[in-house]
Chain A
């Protein structure tokens, strides 16, 4: 903002350049390895039943986790706002911070100890015959892990988006005679939407490509795309490497597409 100086953006160049090298390099390398035997890897991949099954599982798990985490996170935020200044409200706000820095790996391990056949939940229920909750077809344990970790994250984002201006607008609407439901629908939710969108995008992107959580908690076949790409890439049969790369590129493309769809091109560049 200082006048008389040339382009003030030079400072961004080193970091931008390093990311370009690492990230652009990785992308170019991934494309070139995936084309090692011409289009062979892509052809084998696109013709395989496992791709359809893996894609379906990955979309289902990532979408379910995102929707549940967003809904629960929003609900928590709205409830916390009702009791914001009480003792319980303050305690809850501190508790919401706990899952934020917890590594996914640790939460996944805890989910294993909680939900497996000999897990704590089963013991608590006196060995009641629960359906399998880990390594199952639906990825219950995976979804549990993401929701436990990400719902508080979304709640925190929404809470910080609803401070200040929104409070005043809600008061105004109330004073003008709007019902509680109408204030929620026409003032609070629209104000929470951008935070909800940012949070959901992050949760979806992570859940879609994650490795360690579905590797520990998911079934072996079909597995989610992140696990599958890793397995193909590290297969003893080196001829499968290009397929692993192709799957990684599919993950990348899907995440970019989902982020653009959720935020719109305009929203991203703003």
Chain B
């Protein structure tokens, strides 16, 4: 039993190393000509050059866009998640499906139509347009995360505060938010990550004008300089791994629950 568990874990390590190791090696390789198995020399050329090739401004754009998406989706999803998690009402199932179904939609299916529509509104090729387009894949995750939070929330705490004479804002600030903020934070992280990893929507709706980190990375990868590409990958992955402890557990709990 013990041995088999270790064997399984070893296989898992191998599978993960198969993908992470080439990235790590290329990011710090100075020279690595085939057929050598390991780089001939190491250095930080990739990182230096990628910083010079616009990675800094792309990172800022990514952080800005993903934060805006996170904030907007939590604000929009809060009342929706609350309603879905806390109460039953006519049309609940249909509304829930409507709010969660866009998670199924491949970005390419919506991107072109969004871009064409945004041209009329002056939103095409702008950061605001990109933020709005990211709401389509981000909202389903945010709504289901917040709905899961509220399904474990006891609304009687609010009733008590109300009976004691607290106003709506006071109840929100001193009763509700202190109880549900971990769920809201997870929802915001989800939205941030969904936006952070978006390539097709940004490329199409941003029209090549809005350069986020993944768009830059995509260009580098098509260009074929593996040193630069790997260095940009490492920068791109940093927040993903920082958020890893939260995302794994929350993903299984809320998204599946949200999909019913």
Contact residues of A with B, CB < 8 Å? 1-2, 7-16, 18-19, 22-23, 25-30, 33, 79-80, 82-83, 86-89, 91-92, 95-114, 118-120, 122-124, 126-127, 148, 156-157, 159-161, 195, 198, 201-202, 205-206, 208-212, 215-216, 225-226, 229-230, 233, 244-245, 248-249, 251-252, 255, 259, 268-270
Contacts and interface: CB of A to CB of B under 8 A. Distances in A.
Contact of B8 (A10, A80, A99, A226): A80
B112 A11 contact: no
A80 B214 CA distance: 34
A160 B110 CA distance: 31
Given A19-B99, A229-B112, A211 B200 contact: yes
Contacts of B87: 1-2, 8-9
A252 to B, nearest CB: 4
Contacts of B99: 12, 15-16, 19
Contacts of B6: 86-88
B76 interface: yes
Contact of B95 (A12, A96, A198, A202): A12
B7 to A, nearest CB: 7
B229 interface: yes
Interface in B71-119: 76-84, 86-95, 97-99, 101-117
Contact of B5 (A88, A102, A160, A216): A88
30 contacts: A1-B87, A1-B88, A8-B89, A9-B87, A19-B135, A79-B8, A86-B1, A88-B5, A88-B7, A88-B8, A89-B8, A91-B12, A95-B16, A97-B248, A99-B19, A102-B237, A103-B240, A105-B217, A114-B19, A127-B34, A159-B252, A211-B107, A216-B221, A226-B108, A248-B112, A248-B113, A252-B110, A255-B105, A269-B97, A270-B93
Given A113-B26, A156-B251, A91 B9 contact: yes
Contacts of B253: 160
A35 B8 CA distance: 54
Contacts, number: 302
Given A19-B99, A205-B105, A195 B135 contact: no
A159 B37 CA distance: 37
Interface residues of B, number: 101
B136 A113 contact: no
Interface stretch (B48-56, B165-173, B176-184, B191-199): B191-199
Given A15-B139, A110-B23, A9 B86 contact: no
Residue from the set B107, B111, B243 with the largest chain A CB neighbour count within 10 Å:
B111
Nearest to A22: B136
What are the 9 A-B residue pairs with the smallest beta carbon separation, nearest first? A209-B106, A88-B5, A97-B248, A26-B113, A11-B79, A11-B83, A30-B113, A83-B5, A103-B197
B5 A106 contact: no
Given A33-B112, A157-B252, 19 more contacts: A1-B86, A12-B99, A15-B99, A16-B98, A22-B114, A22-B136, A26-B112, A26-B113, A26-B116, A30-B112, A86-B6, A99-B16, A105-B218, A114-B19, A123-B36, A206-B106, A252-B109, A259-B104, A269-B93
